[in-house]
Amino acid sequence: MNSQKRKVAAEDLYQLTYASDPQLSPQGDAVVYVKTMIDEERAYRNHLFVRDLQTGETVQLTSGAVRDTYPRWSPDGTRISFVSKRSGTAQVWLIDAKGGEPRQLTHCKTGVSTPLWSPDGQLIVFSSLMDRGETFDDQEGEAKEAVVPKVIHVERMKYKSDDYGYLYEKTRQLALVHVETGEVKALTDGPYHHTIGSWSPDGKWLAITANRNENPDMLHTVDVYLLPTAGGEWKKLTSSNGTFSHPTWSADSQKLAFIGSLADGIYLNATQKRVWTCDLDSGELTCVTADWDVQIGDSTIGDVRSPGHPTPGAVWTEDGTALYVIVSERGNSGIYRVALDGQKEHIVSGNRNVYGFTIDEQKQTLIAAISDPLIPGDLYQFDLGTKAEQRLTELNRDFFAEVELAVPEEIEFAAQDGWKVHGWMLKPVGYKPGEKYPLVLQIHGGPHSMYGNTFFHEFQILAAKGYAVLYTNPRGSYGYGERFMQACCGDYGGKDYLDLMSAVDYACQQFDFVDESRLGVAGGSYGGLMTNWIVGQTNRFRAGVTDRSICNWVSFYGVSDIGYYFSAEEIQANPFTNPEKMWQHSPIRLVANIETPLLIMHGEQDHRCPIEQAEQLYITLKHQGKAPVSFIRFPGAGHELSRSGDPEQRVLRLQYTEDWFATYMEPKVPSLQQ
């Protein structure tokens, strides 16, 4: 331990920065990436940087009080497109790859996203959320001040989204814009959402995904389509029997790859993503990873980077015999090279979290965005031939030079029924052998996500405050096979609860520094649900903190943006066929048992787990007049408050958590000067 270093604090969130969305130039000699930070006004800023891979020189392309994202090189490498709200709404902008003033390309009233260059560099495809009946011809000019309607007539079931707010009749449509003239041509229409995939090498086709079922509110499958850019008949490649995304073309235009899973009638949300290919001549579909029991993609939960980073999907090798993909397993996400015959090679491995990559096989170069327990997010370069690794950025060097971090210890233990459960223990900063420390059990959301080897600011704060932090992946988590992931469905509060209690038992038995009389529990979303459930089952915890939680499955069914189908799959019940089962799995049923002091925190604009869930829990506890309870509401905040919400609200949330545990668990805060 370095006695000169200080401890991590909630306010340090303002200093943390990370790199994301790396994109190699067509020549393979430079990489553009996004650097995300919080400025002195406590607002997010995203700026574009270009690094020359030969000289190591890094140039900042954009600056100012802006959020510039999604950089993509023109095919000739002379220009970079990106998305920015610098003119008021999110539009496509162009900038010379060597720097200069950017030029606005689109002027769509509702804003745009995910622009992608055509192979000849003349066109860019983009998407836009549009109202029913609206056309791209209506969209010239910038958005004006929104007018609140006197009445809203809702006919769709999926009329709101935690990502986009109230959609009502809006759908995501695709269009082309000519790079030189700015002329816009619509590609899609109708009451369906469409998502951009990739251009065919000859530029004649776009591979896209969409749910164009007759009733997309009820049938949630997503298909892959080939859309002719010059107009004409679409080609549907899948059979409305699964959910697919990120279609990518082989270099010879003969095959398409995509990520997805089949729906078996029971599990749509709780099915592992796999790699698929389609032979475009025969139409034959093949699941390349059918015999590999892993989750394709990054499923790691953290709290510094916002979720949903752009991902390349499955990237073809030059010869079309294999694909590069991110894989999540046992708390790590790395990159594999998967051959079409099923053979696998681990390209980027280790105890870390890969959340994005870009590759140039001819140059034998791969650039990955990586986090680990001590790094929020930096870029690394890998030589595919020699396997050599080089760190390209160290964005938080100065900050980490002055703070002391806790290093997690990996653990594995047997649950009560013998199933193996994996996790980590974080000792308090300043830990001294022979002393006893309070412990906080942290529970992740999802439930189909994964704690792992990534940076977690909240855990570091608790460790700095003198707590041991225990975090595990109970059944329901990604990373341990499909059977493990599906094991919580229909059993919330059953074996998953026992997994969490087994984790606490293991920690108390194996780590002599844990003070069993001072235990706390915390979690958000599903983790909040389980926190509510735990304090209704046992009084062994001195304090609990529940974030954006669920307490009542019966009401959740009708108020969440995903409630009516999520409940059917995860609880395997709905209010009109089996309300008793929904009630049995609802923590609010157990409120009379709760004696643990409980802090409830919730965003007022949370559409995933609406705030009425917190209101029910708070009022019921308060009405009983039993356990101490406090309710913190965050105006304007959605479900992603702790990861991408307003920075000041994120810091306040962390401070409320610290204060609650300090009040009821009396930690002994170590002095780093001792």
Q: pLDDT category, 139, cuts 50, 70, 90?
A: low
CB 527 within 8 A of CB 443: yes
Q: pLDDT category, 671, cuts 50, 70, 90?
A: very low
What would the DSSP string read from start to end of 4-55? Answer: T-EE--GGGGGG--EEEEEEE-TTSSEEEEEEEEE-TTS-EEEEEEEEETTT
Residue 2: is its pLDDT beyond 80? no
CA nearest 121: which of 179, 189, 36? 179
What would the DSSP string read from start to end of 342-403? Answer: S-EEEEE-SSSEEEEEEEETTTTEEEEEEEETTEEEEEEEEETTT--EEE---TTHHHHTTE
For the chain, the structural domain boundaries read: 401-551+586-665
CA distance 613 to 587: 11
Q: pLDDT category, 648, cuts 50, 70, 90?
A: very high
pLDDT of residue 189: 93
Render pLDDT for 174-196 as a digit per residue (tens, 0 to 9). 999 999 999 999 999 999 999 99
pLDDT of residue 136: 84
pTM: 0.96
- What the block records as the tokens of 83 is 């998305």
Selected catalytic residue, list 449, 502, 525, 586:
525
Residue 62: how many other CB atoms lie within 10 Å:
23
CA distance 8 to 14: 12
CA nearest 521: which of 635, 447, 444? 444
pLDDT of residue 613: 98
Render pLDDT for 417-475 as a digit per residue (tens, 0 to 9). 999 999 999 999 999 999 999 999 999 999 999 999 999 999 999 999 999 999 999 99
Task: Tell me which CATH homologous superfamily contains domain 401-551+586-665.
Answer: Alpha/Beta hydrolase fold, catalytic domain (3.40.50.1820)
Beta strand extents in 75-204 (DSSP E only): 79-84, 91-96, 103-104, 113-117, 123-130, 160-161, 165-166, 171-178, 184-186, 194-199
| Residues facing residue 358 across a β-bridge | 367
Q: What is the mean pLDDT of residues 154-158?
A: 91
β-pairing, 68-73 with 58-60? unpaired
Q: What is the mean pLDDT of residues 209-223?
A: 93
pLDDT of residue 164: 87
Active site residue 623: no
CB 46 within 8 A of CB 67: yes
Render pLDDT for 623-634 as a digit per residue (tens, 0 to 9). 999 889 999 999
Terminal alpha carbon distance of the chain: 11
What would the DSSP string read from start to end of 54-82? Answer: TT--EEE---SS-BEEEEEE-TTSSEEEE
Q: pLDDT category, 147, cuts 50, 70, 90?
A: confident
CA distance 374 to 363: 30
CA nearest 376: which of 326, 304, 310? 304
Q: pLDDT category, 268, cuts 50, 70, 90?
A: low
Residue 370: is its pLDDT beyond 70? yes
Q: What is the mean pLDDT of residues 292-301?
A: 97
Q: What is residue 597's DSSP assignment?
A: -
pLDDT of residue 673: 34
Which comes out higher in pLDDT, residue 538 or 163? 538
Q: pLDDT category, 255, cuts 50, 70, 90?
A: very high
Active site residue 220: no
CA distance 520 to 479: 26
Residue 67: is its pLDDT beyond 90? yes
Share of the chain above pLDDT 70, in %: 96
Residue 577: how many other CB atoms lie within 10 Å:
10
Q: Is the peptide bond before 149 cis (omega within 30 degrees of 0)?
A: no
Render pLDDT for 497-518 as a digit per residue (tens, 0 to 9). 999 999 999 999 999 999 999 9
Render pLDDT for 26-45 as a digit per residue (tens, 0 to 9). 999 999 999 999 999 999 99
Cα 145–Cα 151–Cα 154 angle in degrees, nearest 5:
105
Residue 264: is its pLDDT beyond 90? no
CB 68 within 8 A of CB 82: yes
Q: pLDDT category, 76, cuts 50, 70, 90?
A: very high
CB 499 within 8 A of CB 441: no
Render pLDDT for 311-343 as a digit per residue (tens, 0 to 9). 899 999 999 999 999 999 999 999 999 999 989
Residue 672: is its pLDDT beyond 50? no
In the predicted model, what is the mean pLDDT of the chain? 94
Residue 670: is its pLDDT beyond 90? no
Cα torsion angle, 81, 82, 85, 91, sign: positive
Residue 528: is its pLDDT beyond 70? yes
Which comes out higher in pLDDT, residue 164 or 607? 607
CA distance 27 to 5: 43
Q: pLDDT category, 668, cuts 50, 70, 90?
A: low
β-pairing, 598-603 with 629-634? parallel
CA nearest 554: which of 524, 601, 508, 587? 587
Q: pLDDT category, 140, cuts 50, 70, 90?
A: low
Residue 425: how many other CB atoms lie within 10 Å:
22
